[in-house]
Structure 1
Amino acid sequence: MRRGAGSNGALAALGLMLVLATPAQAQIGPIKTFRDWISGCDNTKSCTALSLPNETDDEIAFLRLDRPAGPEGAPTLALKLRAQKLKPSFTIALALDGAPFPAAGRPLQATSVDGEVAEITIPPAEAEALIAAARKATTLTAQIEAASFKVSLAGSVAAMLWIDERQGRLNTPGALIRKGTTGTAPPAPTLPVIAGKPASGKPLSKAEAAALTKAMRAEVNRREPDTCEDMPDGFTGSDGAWALDDAVRLVAIACSRGAYNVASQFWLVGGRDVARARPAPFQGAGGNPANELINADFDPKTGHVSFYARARGIGDCGRSGAYGWDGKGFAVLRMSEMSECRLIPGDDWITLFRSKNSPAN
């Protein structure tokens, strides 16, 4: 597992693209960094806290705490490893500031499915003890034979306290940090249902799609010259046109490219009339203009547009998500983010929005 090159400048540039006013109905959740920890919550106030590995590490261990909202929302805590040559089954010994954890020093059992990734679910009693110990402890050490992994606890208490506040648990018996003797968390908000629609119009031929994307590119550059650069050979596959219904076409044109990101603009066109085309904005995903997505792909079978905006080449930070065509526009279905470039893989990015029909990809 080798670490790729990156820069704070790349992340800052992506951050500028991601700043966009979000409509009230989207309710995309917040994300916040606390020293070596990061926390975020989605639109149902289901929250996640992650420890952040050292920037110089090639092999990493990190803690992930998840907690749904509501009175019955119980926390789960897992230790995750990303390393080379992990055995299919092994034991792992934990220590807090050098002292065995749990106190009896009992090792935990772990398995790896591919030799590089392992997840160890920490039993509830031990998880509760670890959360309590985080008030004073500074480092959790995981020992696997001769290999040692360190997890910083700096900022963990603040991250969990922030989750308690977001979920309305402060000063209740169910709080992670600031416990009380009475009260309970309020009910979790309802998971939204997005009425998505597949593309239902007659599929366009390759020639029709090519003509429409070419005309749309010319129209964009007529409206705002030099805002959409011509793509070299090999990038034309990023362009596309689809019949959303019998009257409306979705047209995507690639407008800029970097080492690992291709930015595409999406337009809604009535028939072939590109002169009256209107932007298809994707609220909350960023982009300037607002109808721009990074590394995006449209699936006409589902009507979903997915994207994966990487802040640097190895893809350990950025934002990803999906939108669904509802017959009038594109509604957010799913949104995840990792604002710190610290080797956290995409499947562990923090979910900021989800719906009942969120796509699995």
Structure 2
Amino acid sequence: MKSACVAAALLLGALSVGAAGKKEPVSFSHNDWELVCDNTLTCRAAGYQADGGEHQQVSMLITRAAGPNTALDIQLQIGDDGSAKGPLRFKVGKAALSGLDAGTASFDQGQIRAVLPELLKSDDATVTANGGKKWTLSLAGLNAVLLKMDEAQGRVDTPGALVRKGAKPESSVLPPVPMPVVQVVKPPKARPGDDALAARIFPSLDLKEARERCNNQDQVNARSVEVHRLNDRKVLLALGCGVGAYNYTTLLWTANDKPPYAPVSLEASGEFDEKDASVTSSMKGRGIGDCWSSETWHFNGTTFVRTGAAGDGMCRGFAGGAWSLPRYVSRLVDAAAPSLTSSKP
């Protein structure tokens, strides 16, 4: 039942081996499962109900950090309108778990040991609630995705591999990659006259990309530009506009606050948050908003540095997406008073 999935992953094995050797993020999907490994080599595999037809929304997330002898984390989520009664029961093959929380449930290590072998050899798993409501989790693609996870983390042929175990020592497993550390600078308050800078700098902007990307050309004018103070000499100019059928973005430039303004277009785009000098762009995969991608950048005193990226690639009916799957993470340090803050995927 699972041989086709494993064969598909093996055909793509060379790509994963290369990615593992270079310690680059990995993204892969097969049938009803997807995998994202971030830049630290933490991998997350997410599976869903079968695509198409009438199916209740259900999803499983399997997370594993890099390094020898690392444990799995498994979470289960159902899409529910609140009508599910009482605790849930999860069944796959010969394994059954009762008393799971409705909404999102986390498996303990004993439960993971019980269900993992059955997940790997079954076609689907079911979740039931009191009253007979039922969800069916597809396992089509699970083995291929977990083999890709093993490859990305250097686990193939080791005792800790999920799919293809062997006798290679656990010490051969790739270690976790440290998160990049980014020093961030809190911007000063706006100065008198900053609002007037939009009209002064606007004629210097290269608006070719803006005119190509913005649906409404009337939005591309000086009145639509916001100005944010970055430091004593630099400001950020932000031009918001609609892109595509259901997405909105903000195009950005940095500039001097005095002539010559010398504006520079940024790769970063999105809404600016003055509290931490961050820019975040979020895009829907489709109109109903059941899959998203996002990217975050922070100002480091000189320029904007990418500090986070996440996205789920499968649109399976969960409002806002079932999970956020980080592709890039970092540690943020306050440059004025160095102290570790949370990362923003």
| TM-score, normalisation: structure 2 | 0.79
Aligned counterpart, 2:129? 144
Residues 208 and 31 of structure 1, relative CA distance in 2, 3 Å threshold: same
* Native 8 Å contact 2:256 2:263 kept in 1: yes
Identical residues among aligned pairs (%):
24
1:203 corresponds in structure 2 to: 190
The alpha-carbon distance between structure 1 residues 262 and 322, as it changes in their structure 2 partners (threshold 3 A), is same
Structure-2 separation of matches of 1:166 and 1:281: 28
Task: Note if contact 1:309-1:318 (Cα within 8 Å) is conserved in structure 2.
Answer: yes
| Counterpart residue number, 1:253 | 239
Deviation at 1:85, TM superposition (A): 1.6
Deviations 1:178-202 (A, max 9, x none): 11134112321112211111113x4
Question: Which residue of the partner structure matches residue 338 of structure 1?
Answer: 312
Gapped regions of structure 1 (runs ≥ 5): 1-26, 113-117, 283-292
Code of the aligned partner of 2:276: T
Q: Deviations over 1:171-221 (max 9, x none)?
A: 111111111134112321112211111113x4145x632x33345554446
Structure 2 residue identity aligned to 1:343: G
Q: Report the CA distance shift for 1:241/1:311 in structure 2 as closer, same or farther (over 3 A).
A: same
Structure 2 counterpart of 1:122: 107
Q: Deviations over 1:287-329 (max 9, x none)?
A: xxxxxx3xx2211221111121112223222311311101121
Classify the secondary structure of the residue corresponding to 2:120: coil
Say whether the 8 Å CA contact 1:28–1:352 is kept in structure 2. Answer: no
Residue ranges of structure 2 left out of the alignment (5+ in a row)? 1-22, 333-341
Higher relative contact order (CA 8 A, sep 6+): 1
Matches within 5 A, 1:1-361: 29-53=25-49, 54-56=51-53, 59-86=56-83, 90-96=86-92, 99=93, 101-102=95-96, 107-112=97-102, 118-145=103-130, 146-184=132-170, 185-200=173-188, 202-205=189-192, 208-209=194-195, 211-220=196-205, 226-227=211-212, 229-231=217-219, 239-273=225-259, 276-282=262-268, 293=269, 296-344=270-318, 345-346=320-321, 348-357=323-332, 358-359=342-343
Give the aligned length: 305
Read off the aligned partner of 2:187 and give its amino acid letter.
Answer: A
Q: What SS does the corresponding residue of 2:181 show, helix, strand or coil?
A: coil
Going from structure 1 to structure 2, the CA distance change for 1:232 and 1:218 (only over 3 Å counts) comes to closer
Contact 1:213 1:252 in 2 (8 A): no
Question: How far apart are residue 68 of structure 1 and its match?
Answer: 0.5
How many angstroms does 1:72 deviate by? 4.2
Q: Which residue of 2 aligns with 1:286?
A: none
Judge conservation of contact 2:250–2:271 (CA < 8 Å) in 1.
no
Cα gap change, 1:301 to 1:51, in 2 (>3 Å):
same
* Structure-1 separation of matches of 2:329 and 2:115: 29
The change in CA–CA distance for 1:225 and 1:126 in structure 2 (over 3 A counts) is closer
TM-score by length of 1: 0.75
